[in-house]
């Protein structure tokens, strides 16, 4: 907001001239249009007025909202220029806005925030008009509106619409102040009086100027001159002109207009320019002919009626002419050097004028204004070649329209224009060749020369004044070239000067009257010509309706073959007296609501008004149907409404997540795992303790062999009930740990026994984890040692438990200890890195000072090692034996061959006996932490299966999840847990079910939504954040195992977290994606066990809302929402479809709809296009295909499953399937390009030679034996299996071809009453069985890859991206580039690997080219070894580092310094 007054403000008031202060004073009191010369300081007056209004607002504002000033400009380049000026000359908060910033789609919240923050808003008039139309702002919220280049307020310009519609509707007392700025208030050929009066009426302002003498010495007005030349060029046309005439033949028609243009150029500019124009024409014609030939080759319909022989002759002629041009000696240099003999008198006059500035070369800056872009193009080339103008650095600036047929009519984007202007301002160029686009706003104070190349008779007064104003230098010239032989030109120039004088006189005369403005807007609208939304006051009128309609159509879903724009048909209306006027009809795209597809407007006497009336009625109808919100903006998910609970919550989440107002949630949060209910201590059972005996059975590594080991121990739990008997497996790589749990009933412990067991439990895990396990903890379970009594019954070993309570005892304090059998004892050495050691033997004959080779540093004895390496400063007792030992192994999460532990030599003086037997700290005992972690998750899975979530009313019918405990345990285990099984496969399966379930719900509950709305809503429902929010409401995060077991952080579960402890107090980090994946995995587990109904119950339990459990209920809900139309007129088509699909439709109109493309506007009033059915079918197809792959044996790993699924449901493959079923051939549409694309793709599939080339004479279509034999193709299973996925090597299939199969699948799903098994029958019969042999080699290669897979990509198999291939290997030397052919517009994709080209392909689009090049590239890349280093921080690098560090610290010979010990064990 506005800051305090500064010295800068004072400086502004001091530099303002008297006439500026006078106009400023007038502007403070009334609405004013300041008419001043360019450079006279109109913008400074506006800044003074802006500051004045800001001060008034600040003084009067108490609790009122901020009212900024709005500065409007007619063109984008002026936005940044004026913003910079205001910012540099005030201390106000200035912001800018234009279309490329995406402001067209901003919400009311975003605009309201801008209104609050900004003091000045600089924008194009169209942006402000849109804000007003949508009622994001009203005129009463603005204190001042400035119209830069105010003379544009004419006819239907945005300036006029702002004033006539929105300013006029604002109460007079609330209207903002108006200030207009222009150098010329006149318009076209109108008189000055009428032009000024009209402008004043439109802007509700009075126009003022200042006397010329007031500007004397203040404004650098250019000296006006007329430079005469004598007539046109009499030189003959260039030789190229006669050559073209002589050899053109049939190509003459193509170049006829260009030859005429060349003659005109020859007369006006001279033969040199004419020759350049012809050269451009020939090059352009060659490119166009190549482009047409390319499209004819690739589009069958374009070849109809074309004489290819004639076209070939024309192309050859043009090609020879092009070769002649390009092989000329001067072609590369831009043509020969021009001379006075080869240019016209007019051009010679221009060149002579420019040559006169050679002496001022260092400071020269000029602009040449021309009328046509083609003139600018050839003059640009001429000036660069003219020998006497080598001091000029020339550039062009022209408009961004598409131009006409002339190849010289180039265009420039707004960005290109901006770069040229900036280069000119900074002196990179000193001469501009410009069209009218540069007449306004180009403020270059060093510009000393402006030349109007075209005569005065083509200029309006506005052009004249605006272009003259570009000359800002103190000694500038404004030159008009005029033909001395054409008196009309001289008269026109003088007439402009006189007209300017009349305009000034008129302004002074009006100033003397000093009347107030009379608001008389140029656009007059009746009440029936404006539609206002009562709730928001948003409006549309006849003048804005067409643009609003185009904006709506732009957001409808479309493909490359859907125009998507409204189609206007204007018909004349006749009466008894003859012609009466026009009525227009609009046809909207097929995916617009049926009620709005055909709209007729009102009668009008003009065509344009008839179209406006039709658009006006269409906008009103779209709003009534809910397609436009109450701000008349195309509806988006955040603007949707509905009574359905699922949709309400999705809309709420969308508003919270991304509409500008909500705070973005953290992607990762931390959670503690729940304590399973069976482990929670019951308050009423404070003394309860249950004993269960656990057996761990599996193999252990012993050097090069494996032994089966069984470990038995007890678990004490303290819940209301004991653990249930259970048996399960814990996989470790290729090994399995078999677990059995046998409950023994109540343990009957005393309080003292509980304390002793707790002490043992803590001591055990301190040793096992080497971490700070608390001495006293409220444990959820406790491990107890067992012993076998005389009857072979296992009981608690209280002797071992008591030993733990005694704590560690010094070895030297235990007489005869070293003489006992020490295999089951563990020692702790407080000097030797404070580690635990297993005893091998006592070296009774060796003392610390005895000669013994110790350590890599070759210490002579153990004492020297302790003193030298371990920095031991205590005196070492000489008379004591040395103990030979090994470090205690670490806990293991995966079975892997461990490196042999090196020998350590210990001094008993520094050792204590650890109070836990060695048998409980090695072998399977090292698996205790991972066993407890897995048991924890397993018990939580049992809770999840049957629990009712807090805050949710769960019906008894779906309270219990259908999934097995094993699958739920898998679903709750994240990949980050580093377990051998995790949720990834189940998540893939569950995701496909959730997608079809949510798709079905949306399809049924929202029958009027088009595919774009449905997709947007489904995307919101599927968002990780949306699933995460639902999961948070039921506390699902507490069930998830989301991190790997880390011995330094993990501790056995406690009943409640204790402040300052590790474990539960150190919460697990879970990302949105992990939690969302678990939701989908749980759903997948339920589908595995309970089918679709089991999955639907899981959705209902976890996501809540109005989802149905039985899909048949959705069929009943949808019964009354569709009007059945019998498609008897397409009986033959239906017969073909039903025969090929193997399905008979109850409602044949569904099959018709599935074959109706959105371009089929001839059916707009009869039915719908296939997009809704495609939306439904895509989800149904994805589910049944994923289920099929999920159930394959041997099982596919998650990566393999995803890769194969993406291939089976990809458009490239589905297009092949659809073509075999004749679906694309039967599709109804109205687009010749789509017809050609489908025919071209079908020709590739039907071409036997192409198949042989691609597949070694195999059967690529998977046709029946009968059809294949007729085609002469092999039909053996071996041949079919070896053919590979050939479709990936074809050109990109039209999306519509694959869409027809998905739409037909959706039609079957709907027609069958949403019977997913009926969909599977169709998919199995039409997609799986006929085509599966193509996928067999791929599936077999997966089996060979093993669990992890080798990532290889075989010929014709999955075309994975080279980016993912490189990322997986850490390769940084893969590059993808594209080059587009100017003639054919085709793209060539090139992939390089370590500087070598490994794949290249040509296609009609980038995507297709990349896909084809990728297949070739991956084959080549697999043949080479990448020598890029492993990326720092990658998993591979971190694993290597971790293993290295663990190996370094494993034994006596470690090189680790003594100052880096492990955590202390007390």
* pLDDT given for residue 411 in this prediction: 79
**DSSP SS3 for 361:** coil
DSSP character string of 583-649: EEEEE--TTS-GGGSEEE---BSSHHHHHHHHHHHHHHHHHHTTSB-TTS-B--GGG---S-HHHHH
Contact yes or no for 453/375 (Cβ under 8 A)? yes
**Does pLDDT of 1344 surpass 50?**
yes
What does the buried/exposed string (b/e) look like for 516-545 if buried means 16 or more CB atoms within 10 Å of the residue's CB?
Answer: ebebebbbebeeebbbebeeeebbbbbbbb
pLDDT band at 1124, cuts 50/70/90? low
Alpha carbon 1076 to its chain's center? 20
* Range scoring the smallest mean pLDDT among 160-174, 941-955, 1182-1196: 941-955
Q: Alpha-carbon distance 1093 to 1110, whole Å?
A: 6
Contact yes or no for 1316/1184 (Cβ under 8 A)? yes
Write out pLDDT tens, residues 529-588: 889 999 888 999 888 899 889 888 888 887 777 777 888 998 888 866 666 789 999 988
Write out pLDDT tens, residues 489-534: 878 878 888 888 888 888 877 665 555 567 777 777 777 888 999 9
**Does pLDDT of 610 surpass 70?**
yes
* pLDDT given for residue 298 in this prediction: 64
Sequence-separated (6 or more) residues with CB below 8 Å from residue 772: 766, 1062, 1463
Q: What angle do helix axes 1295-1311 and 1232-1246 make, rounded to 10 degrees?
A: 90
- Write phi, then psi, for 318 (nearest 5 degrees): -65, -40
Write out pLDDT tens, residues 219-270: 788 899 999 999 998 899 999 999 999 998 888 888 888 899 889 999 999 9
Sign of CA dihedral 1062, 1064, 1065, 1070: positive
Tokens of 204: 């509700």
**Does pLDDT of 62 surpass 70?**
no
Q: Alpha-carbon distance 608 to 1319, whole Å?
A: 51
Q: How many CB atoms lie within 10 A of CB 1003?
A: 24
Sequence-separated (6 or more) residues with CB below 8 Å from residue 850: 861, 862, 882
Tokens of 1221: 């079923």
* Range scoring the smallest mean pLDDT among 471-480, 578-587, 942-951, 1395-1404: 942-951
What one-character DSSP code corresponds to residue 1327?
I
**DSSP SS3 for 1129:** helix
Tokens of 1455: 């090189």
60-72: average pLDDT: 80
Q: How many CB atoms lie within 10 A of CB 196?
A: 23
CA torsion 828-829-830-834 (nearest 10°) is -80
* Range scoring the smallest mean pLDDT among 152-161, 684-693, 846-855: 684-693
Contact yes or no for 299/362 (Cβ under 8 A)? no
Sequence-separated (6 or more) residues with CB below 8 Å from residue 1326: 1140, 1141, 1142, 1217, 1221
Structural element, H or E, at residue 296: helix 271-298
1037-1064: average pLDDT: 75
Question: How many Cα atoms are found within 13 Å in the side-chain-facing hemisphere of 107?
Answer: 13
Q: Alpha-carbon distance 754 to 747, whole Å?
A: 10
1050-1063: average pLDDT: 67
* pLDDT given for residue 1405 in this prediction: 73
Tokens of 489: 């030109």
* Range scoring the smallest mean pLDDT among 299-303, 335-339, 791-795: 299-303
pLDDT band at 1089, cuts 50/70/90? very high
1047-1065: average pLDDT: 67
Write out pLDDT tens, residues 88-101: 999 999 999 988 78
* Strands of the 598-600 sheet, one edge to the other: 567-575, 578-587, 598-600
Q: Alpha-carbon distance 729 to 735, whole Å?
A: 10
927-940: average pLDDT: 92
* pLDDT given for residue 269 in this prediction: 94
Q: What angle do helix axes 1336-1345 and 1198-1208 make, rounded to 10 degrees?
A: 170
Structural element, H or E, at residue 436: none
Contact yes or no for 367/431 (Cβ under 8 A)? yes
Residue appearing with tokens 């009857």:
791
pLDDT band at 1453, cuts 50/70/90? very low
DSSP character string of 616-634: HHHHHHHHHTTSB-TTS-B
The neighbouring-strand residues paired with 531 are 540
Tokens of 524: 């007059």
**Does pLDDT of 305 surpass 50?**
yes
Tokens of 584: 């227009």
Write out pLDDT tens, residues 1315-1325: 999 999 999 99
* pLDDT given for residue 1091 in this prediction: 94
Report the Cα–Cα distance between both ends of the chain, in Å, rounded.
Answer: 63
C-alpha pair distances (Å), 59 with each of 176, 731, 1450: 17, 76, 77
Higher pLDDT, 1284 or 1070: 1070
What average pLDDT does the structure give for the chain? 82
DSSP character string of 212-274: HHHHTTTS-PPEEEEEEE-S---SPPPHHHHHHHHH-GGGHHHHHHHHHHHHHHHHHT-HHHH
* pLDDT given for residue 830 in this prediction: 93
**DSSP SS3 for 1387:** strand
Higher pLDDT, 1129 or 120: 120
C-alpha pair distances (Å), 1179 with each of 756, 847, 1015, 1304, 1330: 59, 77, 11, 12, 21
**DSSP SS3 for 403:** coil
C-alpha pair distances (Å), 286 with each of 298, 302, 649, 957, 1403: 19, 19, 59, 73, 21
**Does pLDDT of 1429 surpass 70?**
no
Q: Alpha-carbon distance 877 to 903, whole Å?
A: 22
pLDDT band at 1280, cuts 50/70/90? very low
Write out pLDDT tens, residues 1164-1190: 667 788 999 999 999 999 999 999 999
Contact yes or no for 449/227 (Cβ under 8 A)? no
The secondary structure of the chain in percent helix, strand, coil, rounded to multiples of 5, reads 50, 15, 35
Contact yes or no for 471/224 (Cβ under 8 A)? no
Cβ burial of 1358 (10 Å; 0-12, 13-18, 19+) is: buried
Q: Alpha-carbon distance 591 to 634, whole Å?
A: 14
* Range scoring the smallest mean pLDDT among 111-115, 399-403, 928-932, 1011-1015: 399-403
pLDDT band at 354, cuts 50/70/90? very high
**Does pLDDT of 820 surpass 80?**
yes
* pLDDT given for residue 1010 in this prediction: 87
Contact yes or no for 1013/635 (Cβ under 8 A)? yes
* pLDDT given for residue 1068 in this prediction: 75
Radius of gyration over every alpha carbon of the chain, rounded to an integer in angstroms: 42
DSSP character string of 498-540: HHHHHHHHHHHHHHHHTPPP----SS---GGGEEE-TTT--EE
Tokens of 889: 């192994």
Tokens of 908: 């008993």
* pLDDT given for residue 777 in this prediction: 83
* pLDDT given for residue 118 in this prediction: 93
Among the residues of 1227-1273, which ranges form H helices? 1232-1246, 1248-1255, 1265-1271
Percent share of the chain, pLDDT over 90: 38
Q: Alpha-carbon distance 312 to 328, whole Å?
A: 24
* Most confident region among 441-450, 599-608, 987-996, 1062-1071 by mean pLDDT: 987-996
Q: Is 923 left (phi over 0), alpha (psi -120 to 50) or beta?
A: left
* pLDDT given for residue 1177 in this prediction: 97
* pLDDT given for residue 331 in this prediction: 78
**Does pLDDT of 1454 surpass 50?**
no
Higher pLDDT, 589 or 1175: 1175
Q: Alpha-carbon distance 206 to 298, whole Å?
A: 63
Contact yes or no for 767/890 (Cβ under 8 A)? no
């Amino acid at each position: 907001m506005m800051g305090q007054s500064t010295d800068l403000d004072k400086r502004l008031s001091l530099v303002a001239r008297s006439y500026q202060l006078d106009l400023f004073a007038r502007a403070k009191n009334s609405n004013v249009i300041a008419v001043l010369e360019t450079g006279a300081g109109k913008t400074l007056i506006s800044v003074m007025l802006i500051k004045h209004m800001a001060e008034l607002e600040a003084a009067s504002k108490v609790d009122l909202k901020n009212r900024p000033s709005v500065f409007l400009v007619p063109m984008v380049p002026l936005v940044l220029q004026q913003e910079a000026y205001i910012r540099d000359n005030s201390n106000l908060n200035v912001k800018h806005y234009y279309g490329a910033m995406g402001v067209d789609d901003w919400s009311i919240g975003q605009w309201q925030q801008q209104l609050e923050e900004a003091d000045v808003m600089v924008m194009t008039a169209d942006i402000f008009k849109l804000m007003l139309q949508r009622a994001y702002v009203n005129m009463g919220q603005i204190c001042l509106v400035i119209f830069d280049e105010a003379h544009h307020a004419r006819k239907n310009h945005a300036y006029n619409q702002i004033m006539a519609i929105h300013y006029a509707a604002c109460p007079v007392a609330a209207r903002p102040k108006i200030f207009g700025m222009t150098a010329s208030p006149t318009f076209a050929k109108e008189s000055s009086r009428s032009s000024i009066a009209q402008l004043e009426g439109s802007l509700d302002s009075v126009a003022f100027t200042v006397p010329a003498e007031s500007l004397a010495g203040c404004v650098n007005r250019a000296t006006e001159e007329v430079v005469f030349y004598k007539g046109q060029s009499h030189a003959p046309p260039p030789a190229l002109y006669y050559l073209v005439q002589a050899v053109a033949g049939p190509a003459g028609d193509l170049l006829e207009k260009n030859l005429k243009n060349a003659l005109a150029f020859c007369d006006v500019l001279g033969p040199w320019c004419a020759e350049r124009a012809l050269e451009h024409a020939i090059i352009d014609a060659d490119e166009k002919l190549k482009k047409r030939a390319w499209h004819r080759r690739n589009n069958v319909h374009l070849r109809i009626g074309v004489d290819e022989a004639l076209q070939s002759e024309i192309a050859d002629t043009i090609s020879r002419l092009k070769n002649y041009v390009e092989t000329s000696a001067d072609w590369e240099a831009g043509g020969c050097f021009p001379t006075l003999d080869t240019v016209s008198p007019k051009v010679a006059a221009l060149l002579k004028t420019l040559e006169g500035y050679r002496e001022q070369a260092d400071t020269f800056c000029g602009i040449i204004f021309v009328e046509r872009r083609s003139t600018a193009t050839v003059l640009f080339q001429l000036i660069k070649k003219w020998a006497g103008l080598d001091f000029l650095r020339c550039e062009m600036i022209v408009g961004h329209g598409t131009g006409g047929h002339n190849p010289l009519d180039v265009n420039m984007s707004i960005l290109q224009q901006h770069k040229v202007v900036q280069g000119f301002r900074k002196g990179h160029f000193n001469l501009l060749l410009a069209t009218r686009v540069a007449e306004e706003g180009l403020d270059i104070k060093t510009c000393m020369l402006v030349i109007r190349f075209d005569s005065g008779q083509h200029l309006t007064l506005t052009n004249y004044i605006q272009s003259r104003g570009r000359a800002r230098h103190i000694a500038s010239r404004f030159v008009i070239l005029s033909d001395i032989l054409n008196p009309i030109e001289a008269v026109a120039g003088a007439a402009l000067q006189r007209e300017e004088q009349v305009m000034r006189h008129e302004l002074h005369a009006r100033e003397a009257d000093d009347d107030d403005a009379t608001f008389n807007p140029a656009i007059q609208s009746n009440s029936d010509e404006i539609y206002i939304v009562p709730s928001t006051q948003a409006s549309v009128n006849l003048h804005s309706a067409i643009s609003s309609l185009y904006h709506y159509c732009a957001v409808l879903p479309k493909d490359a073959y859907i125009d998507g724009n409204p189609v206007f048909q204007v018909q004349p209306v006749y009466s008894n007296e003859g012609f009466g006027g026009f009525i227009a009809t609009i046809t909207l795209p097929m995916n617009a609501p049926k009620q709005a597809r055909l709209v007729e407007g009102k009668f009008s006497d003009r065509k344009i008004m008839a179209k406006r009336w039709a658009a006006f009625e269409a906008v009103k109808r779209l709003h009534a149907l809910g397609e436009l919100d109450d701000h008349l903006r195309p509806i988006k998910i955040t603007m949707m409404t509905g009574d359905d609970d699922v949709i309400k919550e999705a809309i709420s989440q969308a508003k919270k997540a991304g509409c500008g107002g909500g705070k973005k949630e953290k992607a990762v949060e931390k959670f503690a795992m729940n304590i399973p209910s069976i482990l929670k201590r019951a308050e009423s059972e404070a003394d309860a303790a249950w004993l269960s005996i656990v057996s761990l059975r599996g193999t252990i590594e012993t050097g090069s062999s494996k032994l089966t080991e069984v470990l038995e121990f007890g678990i004490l739990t303290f819940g209301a009930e004991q653990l249930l008997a259970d048996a399960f497996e814990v996989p470790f790589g290729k090994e399995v740990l078999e677990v059995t749990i046998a409950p023994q009933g109540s343990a009957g412990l005393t309080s003292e026994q509980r304390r002793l067991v707790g002490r043992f439990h803590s001591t055990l895990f301190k040793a096992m984890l080497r971490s700070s396990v608390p001495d006293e903890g409220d444990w959820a379970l406790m491990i107890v040692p067992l012993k076998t009594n005389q009857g072979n019954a296992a009981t608690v070993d209280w002797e071992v438990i008591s030993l733990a309570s005694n704590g560690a005892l010094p070895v030297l304090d235990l007489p005869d200890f070293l003489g006992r059998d020490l295999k089951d004892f563990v020692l702790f050495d407080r000097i030797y890195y404070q580690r635990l050691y297993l005893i091998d033997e006592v070296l009774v004959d060796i003392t610390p000072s005895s000669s013994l080779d110790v350590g890599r540093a070759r210490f002579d004895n153990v004492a020297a090692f302790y003193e030298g390496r371990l920095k031991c400063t205590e005196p070492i007792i000489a008379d004591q034996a040395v103990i030979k030992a090994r470090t205690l192994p670490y806990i293991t999460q995966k079975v892997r061959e461990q490196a042999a532990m090196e020998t350590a030599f210990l001094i008993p003086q520094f050792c204590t006996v650890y109070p836990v037997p060695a048998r409980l700290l090695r072998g399977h005992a090292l698996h205790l932490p991972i066993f407890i972690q897995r048991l924890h998750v397993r018990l939580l899975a049992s809770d999840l299966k049957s629990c009712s979530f807090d805050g949710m009313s769960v019906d008894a019918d779906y309270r219990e999840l259908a999934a097995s405990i094993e699958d739920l345990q898998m679903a709750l285990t994240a990949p980050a847990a580093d377990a051998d099984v995790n949720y990834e496969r189940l998540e893939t399966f569950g995701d496909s079910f959730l997608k079809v379930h949510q798709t079905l719900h949306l399809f049924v509950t929202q029958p009027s939504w088009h595919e774009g709305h449905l997709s947007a809503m489904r995307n919101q429902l599927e968002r990780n954040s949306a699933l995460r929010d639902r999961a948070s409401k039921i506390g699902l995060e507490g069930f998830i195992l989301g991190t790997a077991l880390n011995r330094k952080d993990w501790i056995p579960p406690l009943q409640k977290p204790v402040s300052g402890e590790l474990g539960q107090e150190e919460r697990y980090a879970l990302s949105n994606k992990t939690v969302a994946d678990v939701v989908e995995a749980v759903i997948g587990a339920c589908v595995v066990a309970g089918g679709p109904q089991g999955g639907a119950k899981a959705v209902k339990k976890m996501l809540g809302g109005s989802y149905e459990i039985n899909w048949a209920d959705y069929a009943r809900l949808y019964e009354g929402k569709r009007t059945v139309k019998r498609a008897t007129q397409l009986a033959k088509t239906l017969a073909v479809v039903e025969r090929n699909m193997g399905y008979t439709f109850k409602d044949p109109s569904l099959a018709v709809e599935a074959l109706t493309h959105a371009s089929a506007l001839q059916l707009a009033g009869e039915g719908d296009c296939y997009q809704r059915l495609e939306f439904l079918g895509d989800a149904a197809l994805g589910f049944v295909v994923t289920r099929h792959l999920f159930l394959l044996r041997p099982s596919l790993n998650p990566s393999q499953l995803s890769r194969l699924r993406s291939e089976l449901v990809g458009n490239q493959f589905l297009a092949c399937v659809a073509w075999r079923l004749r679906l694309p051939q039967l599709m109804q549409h109205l687009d010749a390009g789509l017809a050609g694309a489908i025919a071209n793709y079908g020709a590739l599939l039907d071409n036997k030679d192409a198949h042989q080339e691609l597949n070694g004479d195999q059967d690529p279509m998977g046709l029946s034996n009968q059809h294949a034999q007729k085609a002469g193709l092999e039909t053996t299973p071996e041949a079919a299996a070896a053919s590979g996925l050939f479709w990936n090597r074809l050109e990109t299939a039209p999306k519509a071809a694959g869409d027809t199969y998905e739409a037909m699948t959706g039609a079957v799903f709907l027609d069958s009453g949403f019977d997913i098994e009926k969909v599977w029958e169709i998919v199995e019969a039409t997609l799986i069985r006929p085509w599966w042999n193509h996928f067999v080699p791929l599936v077999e290669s997966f089996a060979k890859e093993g669990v992890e897979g080798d990532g290889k990509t075989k010929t014709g198999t999955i075309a994975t991206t080279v980016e993912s291939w490189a990322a997986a290997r850490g390769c940084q030397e893969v590059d993808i580039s594209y080059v587009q052919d100017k003639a054919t517009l085709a793209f060539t994709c090139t992939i390089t690997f370590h500087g070598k080209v490994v794949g290249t392909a040509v296609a009609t689009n980038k995507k297709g080219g990349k896909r084809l090049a990728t297949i070739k590239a991956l084959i080549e890349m697999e043949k080479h070894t990448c020598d890029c280093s492993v990326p720092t921080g990658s998993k591979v690098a971190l694993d290597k580092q971790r293993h290295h560090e663990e190996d370094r610290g494993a034994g006596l010979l470690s090189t680790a310094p003594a100052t880096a010990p492990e955590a202390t064990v007390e």
